[in-house]
Amino acid sequence: MKGFLKIMLASALGFVIANILFSFIAMIFIFGAMGSFVGSMSTPENFILQENTVLDLRLNGPITERAPEENPFTSLISSDLPSDMGLNDIVSAIRKAKNNDKVKGIYIDSRNVIASMATLAEIRHELESFKESGKFIVSYADTYTQEGYYLASVADKVAINPQGALDLHGLASIPVFYKDALEKLGIEMQVFKVGTYKSYVEQYTQNEMSKANREQVSSFLNDTWSFLRSDLAESRSLSPADIDSLANSLPAVQPAGFLLSANLVDTLLYETEMKYYLRCLLNVDENAKIPSATVSNMKSVTTKTVKKTDNTIAILYAYGNITSGAGSSNIQDKYMVDQIEKLRKDKEIKAVVFRINSRGGSAFASEQIWKAVTGLKAEKPVVVSMGDVAASGGYYIACNADKIVAQPTTLTGSIGIFGAIPSFAGTAKKLGISTDEVKTNEFSDFGNIVRPFNEREKQLLQSMIERGYDLFLTRCAEGRNMPKDSMALYAEGRVWTGNQAKEIGLVDELGGIEKAIEIAAEMANLGKSYVVFEYPRLRSRFDELLNPQKDELVARTIKEYLGESYETFMLLKDIKEQDYIQARIPYELNIQ
């Protein structure tokens, strides 16, 4: 016994000493990072726009609605992961370049861009607007992805490496199903839903798409492709049929000469030759350095001092999963309601553009945000601008706006809800775990995850889901000023493109965030005399240092070390953390 106590005490002491040493080392590490960070802040690089500048539109990595300043700690975890770029920063940089005489053109390098079609359409629209200035746009890549080529095709000259490749293959949805994997773990997903097309739960319960889901995915994929195909055809002086024919020839495996003869590109150049061509456009010496500005550089380029006035339009951003909570990550209901209330009470703000990019989430949280939007709408115009997706819960929080604007390729609708609650009875059996119970009432053990629901519990849960769906349907019908039975025809969890949604009355106008701002200004009778401010405020780099976002750090660390297993880990995490009732778009569609 003495030996055991001795070993136990020694282990405890060792644990305490190890924690003290670890904390000490961590403090040295943190203060060292802070010292170098603050030092870099004290001597900032002041970017000065030079004559004959080219906007270097290097799109490397994911494009999100807004990108906060890089958290200093994330680069310490991994410097290989590309940082997100904000759509708002990219659009702002292109507009500044259009209106600044020192900028002569744009050089597009979109080989590694990661973005959905609606985001790409927003950037492409700005590039087309830029061309109205008479300035040049050129594009170069060793290899073009389909997304990158969609942006590059708007350029005056599209160049590719003579040994390069260009991907143009159309669109495909390749969802992943986990039914058999969950069965091996002994997990049974107990599903309660309303809506024939509400297919989120299929990934847990089936090994292939249902007939209804295949129908809706085929519909919105073909509609999305029709817009992409039309834009490419117009830019490259081809017909939509030509684009289909080329996609069916799989250009990615064809020689570069094929790309040239098919008019997909204008010239074959190595990057050094492309830089020489760029110098010719600028009329500078062949060995001269090309003055360039990145999207990040353009943030510090001012046009004119913009101050908040009595005629202010607020852009309120809401992107990510809709959840219950008071934090600023994703769309947490208490935080978002607080932001909406601040805008409602601010007398200088005359209209609000509610920018939504969300696949949905908690039905309860969606209802709270819907209520706040209703109160805001009672006092000033509210115009929704939909990003890549504003579906299910994302449509729930949008439906009561005065006007809804979406890109033709936005995914929206998905009016339906479901509940997916796991039972770990099989897991417990596999592990040799058993339970017993003593209870005072019929449902005292309701929610016990080591047994499946009984029939009475299933009936009650299904009734709750049906009430939630009826409320969702009512909100949408009233918000869109449509009879409820008519709205029901477009519900059932069906996903629509923005173009399809406009035809059936779920959306008012097609366009981007600029279109939404114009409508908001008109509704508020502001004419051309207004300023635009974005909300909520993004954290500065110093804020990021003092308040590092735990979720971001953890996510990037796990992703770095789990690799391909990361998605499986996130699946189990989602199963664990979901609210009972979800208003969420179908599972990850994996569109390629």
Place 307 in a pLDDT band, splitting at 50, 70 and 90.
low
Question: Residue 555 is inside which H or E element, if any?
Answer: helix 550-562
Please state at what angle helix 550-562 crosses helix 566-577, rounded to 10 degrees: 140
Query: What residues are paired with 58 via a beta bridge?
Result: 109
The reply to whether 322 falls in a domain is: yes
* 105 Cβ neighbours under 8 A, 6+ residues apart: 54, 55, 135, 136, 137, 138, 281, 282
In a shared domain, residues 134 and 59: yes
Q: Quick check: helix, strand or coil at residue 368?
A: helix
> Can you give the pLDDT at residue 7?
41
In a shared domain, residues 257 and 320: no
* pLDDT tens for each residue of 163-208: 999 999 999 988 889 889 988 889 988 888 887 877 778 888 889 9
Place 37 in a pLDDT band, splitting at 50, 70 and 90.
very low
In a shared domain, residues 400 and 286: no
Place 308 in a pLDDT band, splitting at 50, 70 and 90.
low
> Can you give the pLDDT at residue 199?
77
Percent of the chain residues past pLDDT 70, beyond the cut: 80
The reply to whether 526 falls in a domain is: yes
Burial class (CB in 10 A: 0-12, 13-18, 19+), 203: buried
CA 182 to chain centre: 28
The reply to whether 235 falls in a domain is: no
Amino acid at position 134, single letter: G
The reply to whether 198 falls in a domain is: no
Flag whether pLDDT at 578 surpasses 60. no
In a shared domain, residues 290 and 326: no
Q: What is the pTM of this model?
A: 0.82
Out of 135, 198, 350, 380, pick the active-site residue.
198
The token pair that represents 339 in the structure block: 């932001």
| Other Cβ atoms within 10 Å of 360 Cβ, number | 27
Place 565 in a pLDDT band, splitting at 50, 70 and 90.
low
Higher pLDDT, 62 or 36: 62
In a shared domain, residues 444 and 324: yes
When the pLDDT of each residue in the chain is averaged and rounded to a whole number, the result is: 84
Amino acid at position 445, single letter: D
Higher pLDDT, 1 or 128: 128
> Can you give the pLDDT at residue 36?
44
In a shared domain, residues 407 and 360: yes
Place 581 in a pLDDT band, splitting at 50, 70 and 90.
low
* pLDDT tens for each residue of 468-491: 889 999 999 999 999 999 999 999
Mean pLDDT within 531-539: 86
- Reported residue count of the chain is 592
Q: What angle do CA 370, 398, 354 make, to 5 degrees?
A: 100
Place 528 in a pLDDT band, splitting at 50, 70 and 90.
confident
In a shared domain, residues 89 and 142: yes
> Can you give the pLDDT at residue 143?
94
The reply to whether 402 falls in a domain is: yes
* pLDDT tens for each residue of 347-365: 999 999 999 999 998 889 9
Q: Which of 5-14, 160-169, 333-342, 381-390 has the lowest mean pLDDT?
A: 5-14
Place 251 in a pLDDT band, splitting at 50, 70 and 90.
very high
In a shared domain, residues 337 and 266: no
Using the 8-state DSSP alphabet, how is residue 392 labeled?
A: T
CA distance 356 to 160: 36
In a shared domain, residues 278 and 418: no
Domain of residue 91, CATH code: 3.90.226.10
Domain that includes residue 350, residue range? 312-541+579-584
The reply to whether 461 falls in a domain is: yes
| Other Cβ atoms within 10 Å of 463 Cβ, number | 11
* pLDDT tens for each residue of 98-146: 999 999 999 999 988 989 999 999 999 999 999 999 999 999 999 999 9
Place 67 in a pLDDT band, splitting at 50, 70 and 90.
confident
DSSP E strands in 260-330: the ranges are 267-268, 292-293, 312-319, 322-323
Is 198 part of the annotated catalytic residue set?
Answer: yes
> Can you give the pLDDT at residue 330?
86
Is 173 part of the annotated catalytic residue set?
Answer: no
CA distance 496 to 201: 19
The token pair that represents 397 in the structure block: 């929080």
DSSP E strands in 432-519: the ranges are 495-497, 509-510
Flag whether pLDDT at 568 surpasses 70. no
CA distance 537 to 368: 22
Mean pLDDT within 27-54: 58
Q: 360-362 and 581-584: which strand pairing?
A: antiparallel
**Position of tokens 């003092």?**
546
Using the 8-state DSSP alphabet, how is residue 49 labeled?
A: P
Using the 8-state DSSP alphabet, how is residue 559 labeled?
A: H
Out of 362, 392, 414, 423, pick the active-site residue.
392
> Can you give the pLDDT at residue 9?
41
> Can you give the pLDDT at residue 26?
47
Q: Output the DSSP codes for 422-454.
A: EE-HHHHHHHT-------SSTTTTTT-TTS---
Higher pLDDT, 552 or 174: 174
Phi, psi of 431, rounded to the nearest 5 degrees: -90, -5
Could you tell me if 299 and 541 are in contact, meaning their C-beta atoms sit under 8 angstroms apart?
A: no
Amino acid at position 529, single letter: S
The reply to whether 571 falls in a domain is: no
Domain count within the chain: 2
In a shared domain, residues 263 and 381: no
Place 540 in a pLDDT band, splitting at 50, 70 and 90.
low
In a shared domain, residues 403 and 473: yes
* pLDDT tens for each residue of 433-468: 888 889 898 888 888 888 888 999 889 988 988 998
Cis peptide, bond prior to residue 536, ω within 30 of zero: yes
Amino acid at position 115, single letter: A
The reply to whether 261 falls in a domain is: yes
In a shared domain, residues 256 and 343: no
CA distance 196 to 212: 7
Q: Which of 244-258, 288-302, 417-431 has the lowest mean pLDDT?
A: 417-431
Place 12 in a pLDDT band, splitting at 50, 70 and 90.
very low
Question: Residue 485 is inside which H or E element, if any?
Answer: helix 484-489
> Can you give the pLDDT at residue 83?
72
DSSP E strands in 221-280: the ranges are 267-268
Phi-psi region of 564 (alpha: psi -120 to 50; beta: other; left: phi over 0): alpha
CA distance 210 to 351: 43
Could you tell me if 299 and 518 are in contact, meaning their C-beta atoms sit under 8 angstroms apart?
A: no
Place 257 in a pLDDT band, splitting at 50, 70 and 90.
very high
